[in-house]
Structure formats: structure tokens, C-alpha cells
Structure 1
Amino acid sequence: MSLPVVIEQSPNPEHPDPAAARGPSIAALVRQIGPPRAGALLLVLGTVLAIVWANAAHDSYEAFWDTHLTIGVGGDLSLDVTLHALVNDALMAIFFFTVGLEVRREFAIGELTSWSRAVVPMVAALCGLAVPSLLYLLLASGSGWEHAWGVVISTDTAFLVSGLALVGPRAGGRLRVFLLALAVVDDIGALSIIALVYTADFDPLPLLVAAVGLAGIWCTRYVPTGRGPIYATLAIVVWLAFLASGVHPTLAGVAVALLVPVYRPSRRDVEHALALARTFRQSPSSQYARAAANSLRESISVNERLPSAYAPYVAFVILPVFALANAGVEVSPAVLAAAATSPVTWGVVVGLVVGKLVGVLGSTTLLRVMRLGELGPGLTTGRLAGGAALCGVGFTLSLFIVDLAIDDPAVQNEARVGVLLASVLAFALATVTFRAAEPRVPDHEPGSVLERPVDLERDHVYGPPDAPLTLVEYGDFQCGFCLKTAGTIQEVVDELGGRLRYVWRHAPLVRFHPNAVAAAEASEAAALQGRFFEFERALFADQEHQQPADILRRAEELGLDLEQFEKDLTSPAVAARVRDDMLDAEAMDITAVPTLFVNGVRHTGPHDARSLIEALERTAPADAAAAEPSPRLA
């Protein structure tokens, strides 16, 4: 589940925040510890409160969640539900809606658009579904509850993200992307199993109504204005139809989310929004304000707007309330004694802790040995093992499926004890694995050597491909220091000629240069037409003007195919190419640009031409002098 990124701002000592004098607010506390961790802590708090409540006053706990609510205006137009069902069927539909939005986004513009990039997390997720299920069936055989194997299939995405932030490696950006892609496929598998295996009393007729509602949701994208109320109304109709059909209504949230449009912002739409904003600044009025606000909003797809609106409620309200309603396990000596000898409990524990580790790590290792798929630098076996262990935290969906798969309260308690124990053990195992995988005394200082070797098919290389000397730069097109270094590097290229190959990689400092990522993506779009270095020089020539209109103007001046250029600007491949370089930079602790690597070693001295030439010559391979490079490339 994607969570919002928080950009910290330095406080102004001359104008202290009056709220700071009153003590830290809840919002400030959330910003300090981070939304993923705050959400996970609330989830844990809800679990603890549920256990304390269920053991201190079990009758009160059961009676409260069995409270009946009647929603409607008459006997035929009313819905009678318990509080427990309201949480599990209605509130969790919103949770699954946000999951569905992420699934749709990842397949449309995210990590799962490229087969080579998607195959490893996809296979790892499928094996992470199959192996735990088999282990559970093996241990629970003969208990009569073999059909509850779905309890061990899913990874809790919220805990996965927050756990990685708590105990993961220092620069774990690429591992986080890998695990999130895995979690998306894991969610698809788990939701499909809920629909196919744990649906009772199926009635197909209401699904015809749901189909009409879903078709209406798909067509709503063509409505010019006022789409929000239409989406909401049709979503409620679809949810009620799923409820009437016997299919678990939470799946309505996924079905609706998969039909919500998703796209990368069009440069022309962004430019139009900026023009309206300038018009409002010149002539402030409510009409121009609405037009500018609507244009800005419409430039971002509905799929990307909705998570920012729903994510806080899901993380800080829905999931903690779900834990409070479902984690009320009695931990009396009798329950613990029954759980200690229960094949269901141990099937859940072994399935989640061992099954996820073996399924995810084993399949990933096998694919790496077979050279299938793509794993970026920094995804070592130790880090993958830690991530695989963390996948054993199956809290939310595991508790959800317990209620669907098991109708005996005593066995439900045994399964919930297994889920809670497995989550604790998986988190502890991940912590130990990550600590063991990161040596206290590394072979070299992190980032002191180039993690990913130069790839002639992937990298932007200026000079002979087989030149004996290599200079790699991680830079930012809006950085003034990178502009100065560009002139220095040209001097080095002129001096060394065919003996040097120069490589550019992206490391945009998004906190300081808001247009840097857009400029990097534009250079990649130009590269697809064979004009990367020409576009690079054009960007450096006018760093102050890198708005969408400026980007398109430069492409036109260079004679690029504008229609194809604009299409490539919004392609997932271009965004992924820039993101890969940024993840490489994070893995090497690159926090300032330009950062140069001389023959694979990070350069720490002066950046003048003479110093760089001396460093290149000093660290040159032994056979560099005898090398005969091929003719220089322009």
C-alpha cells in the first residue's frame, strides 16, 4: 500500500511555531515518526487494546461488536448489520479499495509494467502464496480445518512497509520497491482466493446489477465535471449488489478501484493549469480560482488523487478499528494450552514464518541463478532474506480470513493466537536477518565504489565504448554545480580524447529542485530518439526555464518528433529509467551532486579538469596504456 511522502522543512528560528510552545501535536508527532510507522503503531495499539478488552471483559467485548444497527428508511429498504460486520464488510471495503488502486497503478504506470522488472516479484509472490499453504495443509491435516489454509497466504503490506522502515537496511529504497511490487501481486492472489474459496450462498443475479454499476463507473471518466458524486453513488450500488450476491462485499472495493482511470500527467495539461494559475494571480476572482483549482486537480489521475484523500483514514482509523474488532483473542491458560497443541495454530505459525521465507527467498534465489528477470544492485541475498522473513507478518488479511474460514469460536481463537505469534516471530527473524546481513565492518565504505557497472546497452555513454578510462557522473539538470562541472568534464574529454568514456546517471535532488525529475524524464524521452546529450546540453544552457512548455520547446528546436516525445514523456519505461538511477544513488548514499566515480571509485578531491585527469590516470587499469580504443562516438 503506497503511503504519502513527507518532505521535512527546516524550522525558522525567527518565527517560532506557536504550537511548539504548547507541546507537540498529534500531527507533529506523526510527521516526526513517519506515517508508515505511526500507522503500524496504531495497528499494534488496536491489537493490544483488543486483547486486553477481550480478556478483562470478554462478554462486554463480544456484546459490543454484536450490537445490531439498522440502516435505511423502511423494512424493505433497510440493512441490518452488526458493528463487527460493519467493520469487516464496509470499512474494510475502503481498505481493499486503496489496495485495488495500487494494483491498478502498478500495472499501468509502476513497477509491474516491464516484464523483466516484474517477473521476479511476481514469481516470489506466487511462491509466497503456495509454499505457506502447503505447509499449513501438511501440519493441519486431519484436524478438520484444512480449508482454512487461506489464513497463511497474505502479507500485511502496512506492517511490511513500516517494519522495513524500522529494521531494514540504511539505504533500502530498491528493496522497498521490490517488496511493494511483491505485496501488490500477493494482494491480488489473496483477494482472488477470498472470492473463489471463501464465498458462501452465492446468488448470481445481484452480480448483474453490480456489472451495470461497474460499467457506469468505467463510463464516468467521460463525464466532464461532477464525477465524484457519480463514482460514490455507483460504488455504493456495487457494494450492495456484492453483499446481496453472497460474494464478500469487500471485493467490491477492488472491482471499483480497478476501473478508476490512471495515467501520468500530460505536460500540456500541467502547462494549462499553470497558465490558469498565472491568470488568477493577475486577476484574482472566484471564477479563475475555481478554474485553476479544477485544472490542477484534473491534471492528476483520479487513481493518484484518491490515495492521498483516503490513506490517512485507512492507516489511522480503519485498520486500527479492524484490529480492535478482530484481534480480541482470549489468552487464558486454557486457550494457550489448546493453542500449544493445536495443528491449526502451528500450521499458521509455520506457514507464515517458514513458508513465506522459503517461498519468497527460494524462488528469488532460483531466478537469480537462472538469470531470469532483473534485480538491481543492492538486492543482496541477505537483504532479500530479511525482506522474505518480513513477509511472514500476515496480520490484517490473516485475521480477516480467520473470520471467513473458521466458524468455531474456539478454533478461531487458536488461529488468531497463531497469527499474532507468527507476526511477532517473523518480525524478530527479519530484524536478526537484516542485522546479520549488514556487516559492522564493511569491506568498503558505503558508496565508495560504483555499485552498478557501466552497461553499454542501458547507460548514456559519450566516447568510445571500450575506452580504458571511465568517468561516471550522478547529476541534476537544475544544479548549478553540475553546470560548472559540465564545462570541466568537456575539458577532460578534449584532453583525453578516445581514451575516456563519460557516463551520465540521474540523481535529481527533488527537495531543492522541483523540476529536476521532469527534466531527467525529458532527457530520457529524447534519448529514445537518439538525442540524449544534445538535450542534456540544452537543459544545462538554460537551467532557469524547465517548465513543461520549455521542455516541449527544446524538443521542437532539436527537431524531435514532438508527438512521440510527448508520448514517451508519460511512459512508465521513462519514469522507471530515472527512478532506477535515483535508487542507485540512494544505495550509494549520494546526497549531493555532482558525484563523480573515477574508474569505478568515488572521487573525493577537487573537481577541476587537472585533478580529474590525474585521478583517472592514477587509477587507470594496468593495460590502459596499451589499449587501442575504437573510434570516438559523438
Structure 2
Amino acid sequence: MTSSDAPPRVIRLLPARFTRDPKAAKGGENRAAVLLLLSTVVAILWANSPWAESYWSLLDTHVGITFGAHHFELTVKHLINDGLMTFFFFIVGLEVTREFAIGELTDRGRAAVPVVAAIAGLAIPAAIFLVLNPTGENAQAWGVVISTDTAFLVGALAIIKPKFPARVRIFLLTLAVVDDVGALGVIALFYSESIQVLPLVISAALIGAMALVRFMPVARGPAYAILGFALWVALFLAGIHPTLAGVALALLIPVFTPERRQVERTVELIRAFRQSPNSEYARAATRGLRESISINERLQTDVGPYVSFVVLPLFALVNAGVRLDADSVQAALRSPLTWGVVAGLVVGKFVGITGATWLMRRTGMGQLAPGLGLRRIAGGAALSGIGFTISLFIVDIAISEPMRQDQARIGVLIASVLAFALGWAVFRLTDRFNPPDPVGLKLLRPIDADRDHIRGNPDAPLTLVEYGDYECPFCSRATGAIDEVRAHLGDRLVYVWRHFPLERAHPRAFDAARASEAAALQGKFFEMGRELFAHQDDLEWSDMYRYAVAIGCDIDQFDQDVRVHSSRVLHRVQDDAQDAELMDLNSTPTFFVNGKRHKGPWDAASLIRALEAGR
């Protein structure tokens, strides 16, 4: 870490619009959910109004393109369901891929639970449906109850607003992707009249080509777009639901955390542009900024809003229109087909997902993230009974008689309303009588001047605690921001460093933390930290002994503390790391501002604003 006697600097705080606001992001999600619900209501009212004929005519309107002698066309309904919804499955796939690669689900024990729960959520509903409809033509419609509607599931969760929904949402998105892939597989195997072999082979070749795009030096974005569209066409011609192309493409796009060398190179380009503004430096800096962030994250940011505010409302508009005249409703209420759909979606999803989660935890084969108990899973399992997209799609291909089609559609509608009500009740009762713990939102262990590594006034009214890793490039860069914050706030601030070595990504970080604790026994903790950050690529023990000499440590004593009395330094590192694990931290640096976890950027201006706002 840098020296504490740096000259004071006056910091000009950035306007709030230049910082990432979690409340604004949440507000956008809520607005998207409201728009989705409004589109659903409009579709139902339109389909049962005096102008209903215009609704059905719109859905059956053909849209196509002609190129020479070739002609390709789809109805408006299929264009949205099979075309635009591919982007939705693509975004969901990107988010879950990121969580598996560098996020919450890197722990395979946690990832196993939603995967197994999704499989149970496919099988149990089908079994319940077949109990009520064991034979005859109705039995062919068992696929109607297997799939959760991901779009409405996410929207319902945003409308209900349970406390601390982030982990529930990640669990349900993971479950929904597995559910979608399984349901699309069922359509391909059981509800496709004929699979065309040649387009299927071409689809496999295209998937192989997409897996190789990451090795291209340039133009990866256009390559993914072209191959993704070609895969969609190939799957469509093969007789397989083409939205599977969105999931396949998302799973093949690489995910990575920003690399230090790329970030440093971009900083140098920006500095060069500042000194000599010209188009060459501008293009290079723009390209560097873009390439320092993985294409997965860039696509989520660029495409996500269009999916939320355009694709999903259009999808609801063309799918939620169900005829609800008196004759149709009365026939549906007497039909085992209707109640088979209701029982399969509402009871089957709830029992299958909740039961599988309980079994995985009970047997020790999987685990849930901290703060994500079985009661929270039960609420999400109830909402998983909302079925629209694939349920209504299978109604059209599994049932030929229009009257029975209406009965099945009414069953899907009733099930979705009941599932939403049940999910709302579970979350509300849970939040009221057994609220979840706010894991990681507050500092678990208070600052202790006798134990913690402190810079500044121990009695200061403002506190900044960092959980960091000496091999993390962003912890290294954050030290400059921290020095600016300390210079700006002076004696009003106390800064604390705590260890959180991420050994999976940074194999030398734990040893570096031990070395810093050995130096701390000689009063050289922050001096050793400065050396470790300055030489992050050279953290072998021979290097760290050299750094200890450079900062004036008694090398014999340092060696004794590291090797002979290792428990004295080991426990300090382990205690901090265990605190971080109990708070379920998963990245460095993580800051706690005045005892509360800081969300958003950690540049000096953002940290100062957060410290003074939360005073």
C-alpha cells in the first residue's frame, strides 16, 4: 500500500449520474415487470373484446422476405415466439453462464441444487398430469405442464419484491435455463413430427464453429452474430425449437474477469490521448476499454434493456390472449385436461423443486448459498408453476381439437394465477414471520483497534473496511483511491485492511497474506503490503523474503515468524478469510462503508460520497 504521508489532494466528486446506481437498476427491473403485466392484461381483454377478431388476425398475419426464387415467412406469433424470444433465452443464458464461471455458482455444490431441482420440476409435473389423464388423446398433452415460463417468473419475482431477492433470482434463473433446455429437448424428441438430419448436422457444425470464435484475434462479435443467426435457421429447418440457438450461443461465449495487463494498457492509452488527443489514440483507447470487459458482460448491458422493454412485452401480448367466454370456461372447469394442467404446474412444480432441494441438502450432495433457506426456495418453486411460452406452444402441437385446446389454455391461465398467488403468500409469510438474514450486507465483526490493521484515527466517525487480496490487480489499483480518500477526509476516517485471499484465482495470495502478518509483528504491515502490491507477478517466498529486507525487517525474526511460529500469522489470515466466507463475499476488493457493504464503483469520489452520505 502507498505511504500514509502523501500530500493532501482536493477531490472533485463526480456527479451521481456517472456512478452505477443499484436502486436505478432495480427500478428498471420493476418497470419492466409492470410493462409485462400490462401487456398480459391487454392481451386477455383484447382477446375477449368486441374487437377480438383483429387480435387473432394480427397473430396469424404472415411476415416474410423474398430473395429471388426463395421465400421465407412466419406468422407474427411465431416471429415473436421463435425469433425475438431467442434473445431472451440468450440473455438468461449469458447471466447463468457468468454465475457458473465467475459468480455465485462457481461452487459446484451450490450449482448442483438448482440443476437437480429443475430435473425434478420437469418429471414430477408430468407424472401428476398422467395420473389425472392416463389414457386417450389427453395423455399426449403431458408436455404442457413441464416448463416454467422464465419471463413471467422473473417478472413475478420483481412484482412481489421479497426481501433480499438476489440469490433467489440467481437460483431460479439457473433452474429456468435447465428447465428450458429440458423442455425444448422434450419438444424435439416427442413433439417434432420429423427431424431433418442434414440441418441437424449443420447445426452441430455451427455450434463447433462458435466454440472456436473465442480464438479469433478480431471481429468476434460479428462472427458470433452471423453464426448465431445461421444456427437459428438450421435448427428451424431441422424441426427443433429455434430459441435453443440463444441458449447454445450464450453457453459458448467466454466469460472472464478484467485482466490487469489489459486494464493497465488501456490506462496508458487514455493517458496518451489526454496528452495528445487524436483519432488513433481515441480508437485504440475505445477498443481497449471494450476488450477489457468480457463480451458476456457487454452483451448483457447492451441487449438486456431491449429484451426487458420490447421483447417480453410483445411476447406477453401475443401469448396471453385466451378466450374466456362462458361456454369455454364451463367446459374447462369440468375437464380432467384442465385440472391435469393446473395440478401439474401448481402442485408438481412446487413439490418437485422443493422436494429435490430438500433431498440434496439432506444427503449432503448439494448446498444452498448463505441466506437462501428452504422456505425461500419454496416461494420460488411456487412461482415456477407459471407456464406460458412452451406450455401454450405445446398446446398447439399436442392437441388437435380446438375445444380441448381452449381447455388446456384455460388450465395454463388458472395455474399461472394460482402459482403467482401461492408464491406471493409464501414469500410474504416468510418475510413476516421468519425473515431471511441480510447476508453480507453488514460488517460481521466490528473494528477492533487491538486486532485489526488500522490507518488513521481509531475513534474516527467514518469507517472504511476493505477485504482484499495481495495478488488481486484491482486491490492494487484501489490503494491510490484509498490514499485520496484518506487525504480528503483526514482524521474523520479510519481505514482497515482485512485478508480475503482468493486462492482459486490467485494461488500466491494466501502466502502473501502470511508474509504481511509476519511483517506486522515487526510493525511493518502496510510497508510490506506496498511491496507486495508493487510486485504482484513475483510472490514466491524467495521474493517475499527480499521484500522483508527492503522494508527493514529483521530477516531472522521474519523467518521464525513465517516458519517456526507460523500459527501466529496463519490464524490472523484465516480469521479474516472466515469472516469473509460467513458474509458470503466472492470478490476483491469488497468495501464496507460505515459498517455497510458498499455497492458500486470504488474510485475515490464514489467512496467519499458513500462515506459522507452514510455518516
Indicate yes or no: 2:57 matched with 1:63.
yes
How far 1:336 sits from its partner (Å)? 0.9
Report if the CA contact (8 A) 1:474-1:504 is conserved: no
Q: Which amino acid aligns with 2:65?
A: I
Q: Is the 8 A contact 1:124 1:364 kept in 2?
A: yes
Equivalent position of 1:229 in the other structure: 222
> For each residue in 1:3-34, what CA deviation from the matched residue of structure 2 results, as whole angstroms up to 9, or x when unmatched?
xxxxxxxxx9x9999xxxxxxxxxx9x94862
- Select which of 373, 386, 403 maps to 1:393: 386
Q: Distance in 2 between matches of 1:591 and 1:143?
A: 62
Query: Structure 1, residues 437-456: CA drift from partner, whole Å, max 9, x if none?
Result: 234598xx967x9999xxxx
The answer to whether the aligner puts 1:541 opposite 2:534 as a matched pair is no
Counterpart residue type for residue 238 of structure 2? S
Report the Cα offset of residue 542 of structure 1: 8.0
* 1:117 aligned residue: 110
Q: Contact (CA 8 Å) 1:43, 1:320: kept in 2 or not?
A: yes
Name the CA distance, whole Å, in 1 between partners of 2:77 and 2:349: 29
Change in CA separation of 1:528 and 1:138 when aligned onto 2, cut-off 3 Å: farther
Corresponding residue of 2:206: 213
Superposition map of 1:197-276 within 5 A: 197-276=190-269
Percent of residue pairs bearing the same amino acid type: 46
Q: 1:577 to 1:298 in 2, by over 3 A?
A: farther
In the TM superposition, residue 485 of structure 1 has moved relative to its aligned partner by: 7.5
Letter in 2 for 1:383: R
Are the structure 2 counterparts of residues 68 and 170 from structure 1 closer, same or farther at C-alpha, using a change threshold of 3 Å?
A: closer
- Please name the residue that 2:131 is paired with: 138
Matched-pair contact (CA < 8 Å) for 2:337–2:407: yes
Alpha-carbon displacement from aligned partner over 1:386-417 (angstroms, at most 9, x marks no partner): 22222222333333433443343333322222
278, 296, 307: which one pairs with 2:300?
307
Task: Tell me what 1:570 maps to.
Answer: none
Residue 607 of structure 2 is matched in structure 1 by none
Report if the CA contact (8 A) 1:523-1:535 is conserved: no
1:364-375 superposed matches below 5 A:
364-375=357-368
1:519: Cα distance to partner?
10
The 8 Å contact of residues 121 and 178 in structure 1, kept in 2 or not, is answered as yes
2:445 corresponds in structure 1 to: 473
* Whole-angstrom CA distance in 1 between matches of 2:198 and 2:348: 39
CA RMSD, aligned part only? Answer: 4.4
1:481-630 superposed matches below 5 A: 484=454, 524=503, 525=506, 529-534=510-515, 541=526, 551=533, 553-554=535-536, 556=538, 559=541, 583=584, 592-594=593-595
Contact 2:60-2:77 at 8 Å conserved across structures? yes
* 1: CA distance, partners of 2:264 / 2:16: 36
Which of the numbers 268, 275, 278 marks the counterpart of 1:285? 278
Taking a change above 3 Å as real, the CA distance of residues 402 and 15 of structure 1, as seen in their structure-2 partners, is same
Taking the TM superposition and a 5 Å limit, the aligned residue runs for 1:14-413 are 31=24, 34-56=27-49, 57-75=51-69, 77-413=70-406
Say whether the 8 Å CA contact 1:473–1:504 is kept in structure 2. Answer: no
2:454 counterpart letter in structure 1: K
Over 3 Å counting, the alpha-carbon distance change for 1:130 and 1:315 in structure 2 is same
Q: What's the offset of the Cα at 1:534?
A: 4.3
Secondary structure of 1:52's partner?
helix
Counterparts of 1:99 and 1:552, CA distance in 2 = 39
Q: Secondary structure at the match of 1:374?
A: coil
Q: C-alpha deviations, 1:233-256, integer Å up to 9, x for none?
A: 222222222222222222222233
* Deviation of 1:359 (Å): 1.0
The residue type paired with residue 170 of structure 1 is K
Letter in 2 for 1:382: R
CA gap 1:43/1:446 in 2 versus in 1, 3 angstroms: closer
SS in 2 for 1:556: coil
Distance in 2 (CA, whole Å) between partners of 1:110 and 1:126 is 22
| Distance in 1 of aligned mates of 2:592 and 2:369 | 20
Q: Which residue identity lines up with residue 134 of structure 2 in the other structure?
A: S
Q: Deviations over 1:484-520 (max 9, x none)?
A: 389969xxxxxxxxxxxxx99789xx9xx8989x997
Q: Name 2:558's counterpart in structure 1.
A: none
**What does residue 612 of structure 2 align with?**
none
Unaligned runs of 5+ in 2: 1-11, 460-464, 470-474, 483-496, 545-576, 598-615
- Preserved contact between residue 136 and residue 347 of structure 1 (Cα < 8 Å): yes
Letter in 1 for 2:445: E
Letter in 1 for 2:304: A
Q: Deviations over 1:26-53 (max 9, x none)?
A: xx9x948623322222222221111111
1:105 Cα offset (Å): 3.2
Match of 1:497 in 2: none
Q: Note if contact 2:444-2:579 (Cα within 8 Å) is conserved in structure 1.
A: no
When structure 1 is superposed on structure 2, of 133-142 and 392-401 the one drifting more is 392-401
Letter in 2 for 1:532: A
Identify the residue that residue 24 of structure 1 maps to in structure 2.
Answer: none
Structure-1 separation of matches of 2:385 and 2:534: 48
1:79 shift after superposition: 0.6
Deviations 1:502-553 (A, max 9, x none): x99789xx9xx8989x9977665367643435468999838999xxx98462
Q: Which residue of 1 aligns with 2:609?
A: none
Residue of structure 1 equivalent to 2:410: 417
User: Counterparts of 1:285 and 1:395 in 2: how far apart (Å)?
Assistant: 53
* Cα distance in 2 for residues equivalent to 1:229 and 1:212: 18
Q: Quick one: distance in 2 between partners of 1:402 and 1:367?
A: 33
Cα distance in 2, alignment partners of residues 58 and 107 from structure 1: 45
Query: What's 1:500 paired with?
Result: none
Gap change, CA 1:138 and 1:551, over 3 Å in 2:
farther
Residues 388/249 of structure 1: CA separation in 2 closer, same or farther (3 Å cut): closer
Distance 1:115 1:371 in 2: 12
What number of residue pairs does the alignment pair up? Answer: 510
TM-score (norm 2): 0.71
Kept in 2: contact 1:238–1:252 (CA 8 A): yes
In the alignment, structure 1 segments of 5+ residues that lack a partner are 1-11, 18-27, 453-470, 476-480, 490-502, 563-575, 597-634
Instruction: Give 1:423 deviation, angstroms.
Output: 1.7
Q: 1:246 to 1:523 in 2, by over 3 A?
A: closer
Residues 298 and 143 (structure 1 numbering): CA distance in 2 closer, same or farther, change over 3 Å? same
Could you tell me how far apart the structure 2 residues matched to 1:560 and 1:125 are? 50
Q: Distance in 1 between matches of 2:433 and 2:37?
A: 31
Answer whether contact 2:254 2:296 (CA < 8 A) is retained.
yes
CA distance in 2, matches of 1:485, 1:473: 18
Structure 1 residues 558 and 403, CA gap change in structure 2 (3 angstroms): same
Secondary structure, aligned partner of 2:119:
helix
Q: Distance in 1 between matches of 2:499 and 2:66?
A: 54
1:325-359 deviation line (CA, Å, top 9, x unaligned): 12211111111112212222212211111111111
Distance 1:195 1:101, change over 3 A: farther
> How far apart are the structure 1 equivalents of 2:105 and 2:536?
31
Check whether the contact 1:155–1:186 (CA below 8 A) recurs between aligned residues.
Answer: yes
Q: In structure 1, the residue corresponding to 2:63 is in which secondary structure? A: strand
Which amino acid is 1:93 matched to?
Answer: T
Q: Deviations over 1:176-227 (max 9, x none)?
A: 3333333333233223223323322221112333334333333332332223
In structure 2, do the counterparts of structure 1 residues 153 and 557 end up closer, same or farther at CA, with 3 Å as the change threshold? same
* Equivalent AA in structure 2 for residue 484 of structure 1: I
1:119 to 1:233, Cα distance in 2 relative to 1, 3 A: closer
